[in-house]
Amino acid sequence: MTKEKKYWKGLSELNNDPIVEKLAQNEFSEEIPVNEFLGDSDLGSGSTSRRDFLKFLGFSTAAATLASCETPIQKVIPYVVKPEEVIPGVANYYATTIYDGHDFASVLVKTREGRPIKIDPNKTALNARIQSSVLSLYDSGRLRNPMKAGVDSDWETVDADIISKLNEIKDKGGNIALLTSTIISPTTEKLITDFSAKYGNVKHIQMDAVSYSGMLDANASTFGVRALPTYYFDKAEVIVSFGADFLGNWGSSDYAADYAFGRNPKNEKMSKHYQVESTLTLTGSNADDRIQIKPSEQAGLLSDLYNALNGGTADSRISKMVSALKSANSSIVVCNSNDSEVQTLVNAINNTLGNYENTLTLSSPSYLKKGNDTDVATLVSDMNAGNIDALITYNVNPSYTLVNADEFNTGLTKVGLKVSTSLYMDETAINMDYVCPDNHNLESWGDAKSSHGFYTLMQPTINPLFKGRQFQDSLLTWSGNPKKYYDYIKDHYMNDEDDKEQPGLDLISNEADWNKKLHDGFFTIDDTEDQFADQMKKERKEVSPPKEHPFKSSSSDYIEFEVSEKISMGNGSQSNNPWLQELPDPLSRACWDNYLTMSATTARALGIKNWNVSNGALNGSMVNITVDGKTLENVPVMIQPGQANGSVSMAVGYGRKNAGKCGDGVGINAYPLLNGGVANITIIEGIHHEFAATQLHHTMMGRDMIVKEASLTDYIKDNKAGNHTELYHTHDGPKKASEVSLWDEFDHTTGHFWNLSIDLTSCIGCAACVISCHAENNVAVVGKEEVRKSRDMHWLRIDRYFSSEMTEERSAEEKISAIDMYAKMEDPSEKPDVVFQPVMCQHCNHAPCETVCPVAATTHGTEGQNHMAYNRCVGTRYCANNCPYKVRRFNWFQYSDNDKFDYNMNDDYGKMVLNPDVVVRSRGVIEKCSMCIQKIQEIKLEAKKDGTKVKDEKAQTACSSACPTNALVFGDVNDETSEIQKMKKDDRAYQLLEHLNVAPSVFYQTKIRNKA
Amino acid sequence: MHKESEIRDPLILGNKTYHDISRDISRPVEGKANKYWWILFSLSAALMLWGFACMAYTIGTGIGAWGLNKTVNWAWDITNFVWWIGIGHAGTLISAVLLLFRQKWRMSINRSAEAMTIFGVAQAALFPLIHMGRPWLAYYVFPIPNQFGSLWVNFNSPLLWDVFAISTYFSVSVVFWYIGLIPDFAMIRDRMSSKVAPMKKQLYSLLSFGWSGKAKHWQRFEEVSLVLAGLATPLVFSVHSIVSMDFATSVIPGWHTTIFPPYFVLGALFSGFAMVETLLIIMRKVVSLESYITIKHIEYMNVIILLTGSLVGTAYITELFMSWYSGVEFEQYAFLNRATGPYWWAYAIMMTCNVLTPQLYWIGAIRKSFVWTFVLSIFVNIGMWFERFVIIVTSLHRDYLPSAWTMFSPSFIDIGIFLGTIGFFFTLFLLYSRTFPVIAQAELKTILKSSGSEYKNKK
């Protein structure tokens, strides 16, 4: 039996039939009938019928189609080894510094999973441009490689070339020029000294696109310190500004907080602000008294002011101001002039008023501006004379910003070695032999000394996105220094005992101290004995105005031109930033444009018009303007209330040719007319310009309850001045709207009740909150055409109203009919009072939007917010119609991943700025302010984790955290300790359109003006 | 003494016999279409296709294809919606209310008026759908049990009331219309030869539900008609009242008005009768029904137009008075702006076409003229479209905060869609006129001898 097989498949196997053996050799016991359906050449005789053939065909087509239908590949790269400090979903904050040669700020950068997504203030206030710089980081238009003669190259080649050429120049004793923006980094200054030491004849020239040279020179000559004074706007009782837009673009962005602090009517004291200017600036629009002059009258008036303060008589226009200055204990006089003699006069005025060491000081000055016009002029003439052998530029774009850019460009052709370190192939870089792209601030190490004794550190918050290299590292390489700039900075601050050659400053004692200071982002040196203090005291006595200066005004017949700066675009360096391009100007409310601003009277005289077309959009006449022999053609004109008659102005920062996809061709370059002068304007008939403005109607139409205001004197008498609630007449006597409600509402007495207070006195209209909101909430950019169709997506807008000459009182007095009255009310006054009113979703507790949505996509939260469920929204837009504040925004198109909206959301780099906590809305849904619910949720979760109550100081919305003047206060009114609770009880608090009884969670504080 | 009572004017002219009526009504169905029909049909179909293309473009790219903006979120879409819904009302009034009041003159026109209702409501129903940002999710507006948790529609929203009002109205109208059609379909079926047109005959047999003209059938027919007329009558008033609540329940000055429900219903009847006139004056020519749709019918309808037009005018003036009397400056401005603001021309067109020109009907010669009636009916159609435009756009474009004020201008897509619905409407109507018995002949035969003039003439 042992030979017997245990298992067998059939009898033939059991019996060891040879056929079994034979078949076992084959893979298949039966032959597969492949030939039957494939091999048979004669289909007719095959067993594959026509029907089978069609089945095969159908199957294979379907299979092939299915196989080709791959899911689109989304690049998600998971952490293989998770970095210790990164927890997905939890933001990390890094303290660093932003300085682009124009704006300076000490900031906190919020990063998510290694991506910087938002910039919050750290030690200084932030303006809109600083807020936006996080998007500029992700600009896909940045250079990806070093360039040699306009083509991509690599660092080895470029460095070798540059070093050998620099050595050649050094050997023959040639001149090397280093043209940079103002350098406020002490380490970079040292590095430049090192570089100069290595190559001999190196001239370091600093320039500011909009120059402060005159003021710096004046300070240098009177005080021996070439710097800006540090101002204390909070200490001044009277503030006088001659054209200086210190709340917008002039000097440092840090003045606003002090200014607002000094104008807090709570203290029953409020500074009085006079602005003497021709172009309406943000600062001018906040002034209590604004005097409109022509640019050429400025010097004369200042001289008048000086004489009046010294016993003379003043021009009638400034007589009130003079007496206010005389009677004030403290004051500040500032001026935007770039003429050193005028600035010397201003210094003399401040000295007469005893302001030095009181409201402004040069003993601990500010270093934010160092540009020198004379040096730049010398450089350009040297270049043209062929005396410059190498030019290295850093952080400047002279071919665009210089008045004599043509001359500069001609000179450039005579320079042997031309190196730009620009991040972009900009107007200057395109003329250079080598472009060695710098890194963005957020990718760089660095330091800054913005004012005396105040140091900040800069640390990278992301690995460099492209193959750029920090300018300082380039300079180190070219100087033959093997160190990295990071080590160089540390060495500079730490006293490295081993390195006898380069002893440090000893400002940072050790590694731990370095880490701490890096963590804080800033440190101060407490030297009360200022280096300049003694000098100041001595010099101050001798300040006197220049004697025989011909301060003359031009004839009144001329129209004078001056340039201005917009808070969005500044000097134009961030021109490719779509957030900034779409940020409406606070005064004209137009975006994606610059234009000539002109008063209505001047425009009428020239036959220039602005008009609204059938969809409301604004059109304007176009002109050619010639100033000082230079002509700008096809310039659109915007009629701007507040522009002095006989003067026109235009913002710089536009008309870029090599900025990138968003900035190219937007507006007209006004830099060639930087110096201003008498303008010759000719209207071009037959063509017009199309503006994109987010606000088309400029007055309040007599609806005084929108922005309630009162004068300081009235406010002191009665804190409720200007803030009277409208009452309804009922059978039961007059009642407030809230008392006649039919509404069943949530009980808001327990739990959280989030409210937002907006102080219209403190709000200066700077729009930092608007950009902060964009960054936090992924607000889409829609482009000029769509804005023109009134389809901007801004969740937060800053309404600006001008006063009108026509009022209800006047019409009653003069017996003007209602129709005429309203028609005249539409025209703003040419000398308007200006108010700014930030408006976002008011989070009504009786929300009109919520009741009308058929699908309940917008509903009320128990904590007072009005929620929006995008997934549920079908897009009937009924809610938007029924919103009395018109704050709801509809996604008219798909704004992300759409080539027609080629801004940051249609770009793999640009999309990196998106906040992962906030969904990117699809087309067809309504969106609006959520009161930053994601931020509230975050602090609630944190508190829950810690087992504590939510701390009021942690509760912030994007707008409230960005506000430099603390005009926006957010918090839980049910928290007894909160500031918001005090604000809600304040006599100045009122709700917008209170009579509708929609019960908003957002409320305003009346605007107080220091008017007689 | 021989006293002969006054003979009523005959409702049907031309000494028709029963057979004549059957023949006349079936002629368009049995015969070939004439030249006019083909011209009108081609035009309408072309417009319709263009409209469909514009709708497809809108759905493909987004509502941004229209001229709307952040302030004016509804304009032509809802204007067209309300206009079409309004047009439907006359049909229901004629067939239901006039039935209950035993107005026999309605019999020549009720079938077509009701067809107009259904086709008009179909056009209207398009707009709530395509005006949505995400029309593919339109089913969210129905209270369908779902898997989204306890997610339910918002019963507070007038838009939801619209959904119910329109769907009810549409279904009741269709049923009512169809019931009336059954004996007429049966008549066509009976006349058809199964040899010449077997398919057609089969189709009409199906459509006529086996109607055999038994007394029991007639009895049930009469009862159902009466019940449905009773059901449809409140709908005449409720549907447009509810539509008006889209506006009346809002907070927007110019919308927030308690006069809206009756005002909208009157406006709807007014525009509906005008559209019936426009259609019938064309139809009686195109399908040769001059003997059935007579100047008598037109005159009756003109009287209704004169009445409703005057009432609508009163409503306009009441609104103006109330805005002044309210003392609310927002209200006052809203109406002042309506009349004298940037859209004054729209207000002027509305006032002229709705209030002034219908007053011409006081003059008998105009009231009894086909040409004048046709022209004036077009005026009313235009005027009523502008009424809705004025209410929607002028209220929205300048509401509470002047900072948000702007204007509206239609894009070519807006215009295309509106023209498309007109094309669609006429296409449906023209197809109907060739396939349906356009006059309720079974009913009509009951009044053939009611005037007695025929008897007298025979003597």
The model's pLDDT over A950-959, given as tens digits with 9 standing for 90+, comes to 888 889 999 9
Best mutation target among B73, B78, B407 (most A Cβ atoms within 10 Å) is B73
- A486: helix, strand or coil: helix
Residue B454: pLDDT band (50, 70, 90) is low
Question: Both tokens of residue A586?
Answer: 């606070």
Does residue B9 belong to any structural domain of this protein?
Answer: no
Residue B283: pLDDT band (50, 70, 90) is confident
Torsion of CA A357, A362, A364, A369, to 10 degrees: 140
What is the per-residue DSSP string for A670-687?
-GGGTT-EEEEEEEEEEE
**What per-residue confidence (pLDDT) applies to A749?**
86
Cβ <8 Å between B399 and A886: yes
Distance CA B326, CA A729 (A): 11
Q: Which of residues 400-419 of B touch A (CB under 8 A)?
A: 400-409
Å from B397 to nearest chain A CA? 10
Q: Which residue of B has its CA nearest to A880?
A: B73
Distance CA B33, CA B39 (A): 10
**Has residue A42 got a pLDDT over 70?**
no
**Has residue A600 got a pLDDT over 90?**
yes
Does residue B39 belong to any structural domain of this protein?
Answer: yes
Residue A786: pLDDT band (50, 70, 90) is very high
> CB distance from B343 to chain A under 8 Å?
no
Distance CA A637, CA A630 (A): 18
Does residue B420 belong to any structural domain of this protein?
Answer: yes
**Has residue A667 got a pLDDT over 90?**
yes
**What per-residue confidence (pLDDT) applies to B443?**
84
Question: Both tokens of residue A589?
Answer: 């409310």
Query: How far is residue A463 from each of residues A115, A118, A459, A480, measured CA to CA in Å?
Result: 9, 16, 11, 24
Å from A756 to nearest chain B CA? 19
Query: How far is residue B83 from each of residues A123, B51, B76, B383, measured CA to CA in Å?
Result: 61, 17, 10, 10
Residue pair A283/A248 in contact (Cβ under 8 Å)? The answer is yes
Residue A504: pLDDT band (50, 70, 90) is low
**What per-residue confidence (pLDDT) applies to A547?**
55
Count the Cβ atoms, other than its own, within 10 Å of residue B154: 18
Residue pair A346/A218 in contact (Cβ under 8 Å)? The answer is yes
Looking at residues A325-337, what average pLDDT do you find?
Answer: 93
Cβ <8 Å between A851 and B154: yes
Q: Give the nearest partner residue to A854 out of B160, B252, B332, using CB atoms.
A: B160
Q: Pick the residue with more confidence: A12 or A758?
A: A758
Distance CA B6, CA B3 (A): 9
**What per-residue confidence (pLDDT) applies to A509?**
81
Q: List A230's β-bridge partners, or say none.
A: A361
Looking at residues A643-670, what average pLDDT do you find?
Answer: 92
Cβ <8 Å between A697 and B402: yes
Count the Cβ atoms, other than its own, within 10 Å of residue A506: 10
Å from B241 to nearest chain A CA? 16
Looking at residues B106-130, what average pLDDT do you find?
Answer: 91
**Has residue A34 got a pLDDT over 70?**
no
What is the per-residue DSSP string for A528-593?
SS-TTHHHHHHHHTT----TT----PPPTTSEEEEEE--TTTTTSTTTT-HHHHTSPPTTT-EES-
Q: Which amino acid is at A553?
A: S
User: What is the tens place of the pLDDT at every residue in B221-252?
Assistant: 989 988 998 888 888 889 999 999 999 999 99
**Has residue A783 got a pLDDT over 90?**
yes
Looking at residues A314-324, what average pLDDT do you find?
Answer: 89
Residue A548: pLDDT band (50, 70, 90) is very low
Distance CA A844, CA B411 (A): 34
Task: Find the domain containing B240 and state its range.
Answer: 28-450
User: What is the tens place of the pLDDT at every residue in A236-271?
Assistant: 999 999 999 999 999 887 899 999 999 988 877 899
Cβ <8 Å between B157 and A853: yes
Distance CA B122, CA B127 (A): 9
**Has residue A530 got a pLDDT over 60?**
no
Among A883, A879, A873, smallest CA distance to A925 is for A873
Count the Cβ atoms, other than its own, within 10 Å of residue A745: 10
Cβ <8 Å between B64 and A786: yes
Torsion of CA A973, A974, A977, A982, to 10 degrees: 30
**Has residue B1 got a pLDDT over 70?**
no
**What per-residue confidence (pLDDT) applies to A383?**
94
**Has residue A117 got a pLDDT over 60?**
yes
Distance CA B49, CA B419 (A): 10
Among A495, A496, A476, smallest CA distance to A485 is for A476
Ordered alpha helix ranges (H), A684-778: 712-717, 768-777
Residue pair A797/A763 in contact (Cβ under 8 Å)? The answer is no
User: What CATH fold (topology level) applies to the domain A559-693?
Assistant: Barwin-like endoglucanases (2.40.40)
User: What is the tens place of the pLDDT at every residue in A873-913?
Assistant: 999 999 999 999 999 999 999 999 999 999 999 989 999 99
Q: Which residues lie below 8 Å from residue B442, measured CB to CB, with a gap of 6+?
A: B183, B184, B187
- Name the domain count of chain B: 1
Looking at residues B402-414, what average pLDDT do you find?
Answer: 95
Q: Give the nearest partner residue to B62 out of A701, A818, A923, using CB atoms.
A: A923
Residue pair A972/A950 in contact (Cβ under 8 Å)? The answer is yes
Q: Which amino acid is at A127?
A: N
Distance CA A289, CA A308 (A): 19
User: What is the tens place of the pLDDT at every residue in A675-715?
Assistant: 888 899 999 999 999 999 999 999 999 999 999 999 999 99
**Has residue A499 got a pLDDT over 60?**
no
**What per-residue confidence (pLDDT) applies to B446?**
82
Lowest mean pLDDT among A141-155, A545-559, B129-143, B402-416: A545-559
Q: Is the dihedral of CA A403, A404, A406, A411 positive or negative?
A: negative
CATH 2.40.40.20 residue spans of chain A: 559-693
Looking at residues A288-308, what average pLDDT do you find?
Answer: 90
Best mutation target among A892, A893, A923 (most B Cβ atoms within 10 Å) is A892
Q: Which residue of A has its CA nearest to B62?
A: A893
Residue B345: pLDDT band (50, 70, 90) is very high
Distance CA A469, CA A484 (A): 11
Query: How far is residue A706 from each of residues A285, A725, A784, A995, B421, measured CA to CA in Å?
Result: 18, 12, 29, 11, 42
> CB distance from B138 to chain A under 8 Å?
yes
Residue A429: pLDDT band (50, 70, 90) is very high
Q: What is the CATH number of the domain that holds B399?
A: 1.20.1630.10
User: What is the tens place of the pLDDT at every residue in A841-854?
Assistant: 999 999 999 999 99
Q: Which residue of A has its CA nearest to B77?
A: A876
Query: How far is residue B371 from each of residues A100, A112, B112, B295, B359, measured CA to CA in Å?
Result: 77, 74, 20, 11, 16
Best mutation target among B61, B66, B69, B337 (most A Cβ atoms within 10 Å) is B69
The per-residue pLDDT of chain A, averaged, comes to 89
Q: Is the dihedral of CA B273, B276, B278, B281 positive or negative?
A: negative
**What per-residue confidence (pLDDT) applies to A511?**
87
Q: What angle do CA B150, B156, B158 make, to 5 degrees?
A: 125
Distance CA A506, CA A633 (A): 56
Percentage above 70 pLDDT, chain A: 92
Q: Which amino acid is at A398?
A: P
Side-chain half-sphere exposure of A219, counting CA atoms within 13 A: 27
**Has residue A796 got a pLDDT over 90?**
yes
**What per-residue confidence (pLDDT) applies to B90?**
81
**What per-residue confidence (pLDDT) applies to A36?**
61
Q: Is the dihedral of CA A639, A641, A645, A648 positive or negative?
A: negative
**What per-residue confidence (pLDDT) applies to A538?**
56
Count the Cβ atoms, other than its own, within 10 Å of residue A246: 25
> CB distance from B280 to chain A under 8 Å?
no
Distance CA A926, CA A855 (A): 13
Q: List A799's β-bridge partners, or say none.
A: A837
Distance CA A568, CA A554 (A): 32
Residue B14: pLDDT band (50, 70, 90) is confident
User: What CATH fold (topology level) applies to the domain A709-1009?
Assistant: Alpha-Beta Plaits (3.30.70)
> CB distance from B119 to chain A under 8 Å?
no
Question: Both tokens of residue A133?
Answer: 């710089």
**Has residue A48 got a pLDDT over 80?**
no
The CATH number for A213-366, chosen from 3.40.190.100, 3.30.420.40, 3.40.640.10, 3.40.228.10, is 3.40.228.10
**Has residue A505 got a pLDDT over 80?**
no
Residue pair A309/A352 in contact (Cβ under 8 Å)? The answer is yes
Distance CA A610, CA A691 (A): 10
Å from B138 to nearest chain A CA? 7
Does residue B459 belong to any structural domain of this protein?
Answer: no
**Has residue A506 got a pLDDT over 50?**
yes
- Residue A697: list chain B partners with CB under 8 A: 398, 402-403, 405-406
Distance CA A5, CA A14 (A): 7
**Has residue B362 got a pLDDT over 90?**
yes
Residue A1009: pLDDT band (50, 70, 90) is very high
**Has residue B213 got a pLDDT over 90?**
no
Looking at residues B105-114, what average pLDDT do you find?
Answer: 86
Question: Both tokens of residue A887?
Answer: 């704050």
Task: Give the helix/strand (H/E) hosting A951.
Answer: none
Residue pair A449/A184 in contact (Cβ under 8 Å)? The answer is yes
Cβ <8 Å between B67 and A697: no
**Has residue A20 got a pLDDT over 80?**
no
> CB distance from B74 to chain A under 8 Å?
yes
Burial of A261 (0-12, 13-18, 19+ CB in 10 A): middle
**Has residue A97 got a pLDDT over 70?**
yes
Residue pair A924/A783 in contact (Cβ under 8 Å)? The answer is no
Distance CA A480, CA A478 (A): 5
Question: Both tokens of residue B123?
Answer: 């056009």
Q: Which residue of B has its CA nearest to A614?
A: B409
Query: How far is residue A21 from each of residues A2, A27, A28, A32, A479, measured CA to CA in Å?
Result: 20, 12, 13, 19, 86
Task: Give the helix/strand (H/E) hosting A281.
Answer: none
**What per-residue confidence (pLDDT) applies to A372?**
93
Residue B150: pLDDT band (50, 70, 90) is confident
Looking at residues A549-570, what average pLDDT do you find?
Answer: 77
**Has residue A343 got a pLDDT over 70?**
yes
The per-residue pLDDT of chain B, averaged, comes to 90
Q: Pick the residue with more confidence: A13 or A595?
A: A595
Q: Which residue of A has its CA nearest to B153?
A: A855
Task: Give the helix/strand (H/E) hosting A622.
Answer: strand A618-627
CATH 3.40.50.740 residue spans of chain A: 147-209+372-453+466-494
**What per-residue confidence (pLDDT) applies to B102?**
80
- A689: helix, strand or coil: strand
Question: Both tokens of residue B453?
Answer: 């003039």
Residue A437, phi then psi, degrees to nearest 5: -60, 130
CATH 3.40.50.740 fits A147-209+372-453+466-494, yes or no: yes
Looking at residues A194-202, what average pLDDT do you find?
Answer: 91
Looking at residues A427-434, what average pLDDT do you find?
Answer: 93
